[in-house]
Amino acid sequence: MGSVEHAAGGRRRVVVTGLGLATPIGHTLDDACTALKEGRHGIERTEAFSSIEHLETRLSGPVRGIELKGRWPRQRTRSMGRVSLLAAHATEEALADAGLEEDAWRRPEVGLAYGSTHGSSLELERFCKKVLVHDSLAGVPSSSFLRFMSHTTSANLAGLFGIQGRVLSTSAACVSGSQAVGAGVEAIRSGAQDVMICGGAEELHWVPAGVFDIFSATSVEFNGEPDRSPRPFDRERDGIVVAEGAATVVLESLEHARQRGAPILGEVLGYGTNCDGSHVTAPSHEGMAQAMRLGLRDAGVSADDVDYVNAHAPATIVGDVAESRATQEVFGSKTPVSSTKGHTGHTLGACGTMELAFCLGMMREGFVAPTRNLEEVDPRCAGLDHVREPRDATLELVATHNFAFGGINTSLVLRRSV
């Protein structure tokens, strides 16, 4: 794999030195891993959804138990909706986990890449009600747009933490978090930055639930049984459960991390991203498979080297089938595969980084999380080693995949040992 500090070709190796979480199943990696092992989930029946006409789903995955008010100066939080506040929590935790002090991250060598689907849905709703109902700007706060603009997480985090390096917004729906990590990897490899703070966030609101509802892509058959949905890969799956959360990782060059004696949680060995180039909403297994191959090629490993595949698998009818075909085509039938969305629901812009964090936890603790609620595999999703119960395993290499509207695909390959 090349020298100690550099991979083949002389590019710098990229490691994870800190992570922070706000998830429906816990806000530390220890708590999340315990939930994954014990089958605890964060899915609830959401009565507030019943106030929206023609919104069929009643299920969601909220984040509970985090106090976001009053933690940061008001002059900073005035421009932050819940999505940015969740991102701020995760980022604060990640920086502390990495052992970085403020003077260490307020440097030109430290950048940030962060995303969400489109910003704060609640703040967008409030803005539209004030402006469109009365065709007037009267009473609209000057900070309104800053809360729901597409790059609200990256812009607000940059201001809150005083980031002086490059700041990138990866607002690309369900690959927002994974593309942020990929952007961070590329920035460090190239030498443009020594450290990148990367992640994704989403807040719970009826608007994203309604978007998927219109596509008939939300779970509705289990509205009265939140324990039973979502059901990735299962014959009875009927759609996603929209959830919220945030996840941040601190990436560093291996040399930089070792120089400061930082804890190393794992290495981002490969990153691949592409586009189907065919349809805005219909997934392409060919495009998915190509993204997986790009990730493996970038990592310099073969599919046979990978010990576990963390699937995107949000429990949509067509998406799970396409992903299964792509995974079987690239990895065969012997590599263990599971989706953690049965525990968390679909956290949209947060899921890519959140699931990367879960993978780091599985590698550290030596287990594979099961696909919760997978009782009978859909025959169209067959041909894989579906993990249905927690499984002890030594995981040295893991691949995690995410896919988004627009046919945008990502693959990240992680290595436990450095």
Q: Is 285 a catalytic residue?
A: no
How many distinct helices (H) and strands (E) make up the chain?
14, 15
d(CA 342, CA 358): 13
Dmax (CA) of the chain: 65
Catalytic choice (118, 205, 312, 343): 312
Catalytic choice (346, 351, 359, 401): 346
Candidates 124, 142, 46, 42; CA nearest to 83 is: 124
Catalytic choice (33, 174, 359, 381): 174
Q: Is 346 a catalytic residue?
A: yes
Q: Is 312 a catalytic residue?
A: yes
405 neighbors 176 (Cβ within 8 angstroms):
no
- Sign of the dihedral through C-alpha 329, 330, 336, 339: negative
d(CA 264, CA 416): 9
385 CB neighbour count, 10 Å cutoff: 17
79 neighbors 165 (Cβ within 8 angstroms):
no
358 neighbors 36 (Cβ within 8 angstroms):
yes
d(CA 188, CA 111): 9
- Sign of the dihedral through C-alpha 244, 245, 246, 247: negative
Can you list the alpha helix ranges (DSSP code H) found in 135-235?
144-148, 152-161, 176-189, 206-214
Segment holding 108, helix H or strand E? none
Q: DSSP character for 191? A: T
Tell me, what amino acid is at 325? R
384 neighbors 401 (Cβ within 8 angstroms):
no
Give the C-alpha distances (Å, rounded to integers) separating 306 from 72, 190, 269, 310, 357. Answer: 42, 26, 12, 11, 17
The catalytic residues are 174, 312, 346
